[in-house]
Chains A and B, each alone.
Chain A
Amino acid sequence: MTGVAFHGSYDEALAEASRRERPILIMFEAPG
């Protein structure tokens, strides 16, 4: 648990970004 609420899909983040007028931060992480 990181304490940060990431979406698991881009579409979910895009919907939130549109609804709340926010930029999107995508974090690409290493496998595993």
Chain B
Amino acid sequence: MDTVTYPDAEVQQFLAERFALVRLSLADRGESSRALIRRYRVLWSPGFVVLHRGETELRRFIGFQRPRDFLAELRIALGKVLLLERDPVGAEAEFREAADVEPPAPVSAEGLYWAGVAAYLQEKRPLEFLRDYWVELGRRFPESRWWTHADVFRDM
């Protein structure tokens, strides 16, 4: 991450503008760091946890992330933050960015799933908004587990 992803200009700007960042070593002996490591039961590194208001865990992922994939992970986390903040329009935009990155990121299908949810949660939206996204999910990512979660419209 230090040699490939964090030096990336887009990653730096995105992190600086959208998150409060903390970095802890799993070997840290400080009391507060040990408490966090115990609290989140981190099994492998690098490990990433996104918290809303310092308490609600919204996303967790592990392992090396290329810049494009890292940004997609973080956009899904931000989309969930915005859903909790009752901003489904902003959430849809973040999820859509994660879904439409080219070439697709490992979490692009998940982004499209949540984009449909965020679209549907906007005021007075009919179920068609969700269906349109999830039909697109099946078309673009038919091997994705997220398509299996969205495949409720097949017989409707």
Contact = CB atoms under 8 A, between A and B. Distances in A.
Partners in one complex: yes
B20 A22 contact: yes
Question: Size class of B's contact patch?
Answer: 35 or more
Contacts of B77: 23, 25
Main secondary structure of the interface of B (DSSP, over half): mixed
A28 B27 CA distance: 10
Given A6-B22, A14-B20, A18-B54, A27 B7 contact: no
Question: Size class of A's contact patch?
Answer: 20 to 34
A12 B22 contact: yes
Interface of B: 1-2, 6-7, 11-12, 15-16, 18-27, 30, 32-33, 36-37, 40, 42, 45-54, 58, 74, 77-78, 81
Interface of A: 2-14, 16-18, 20, 22-32
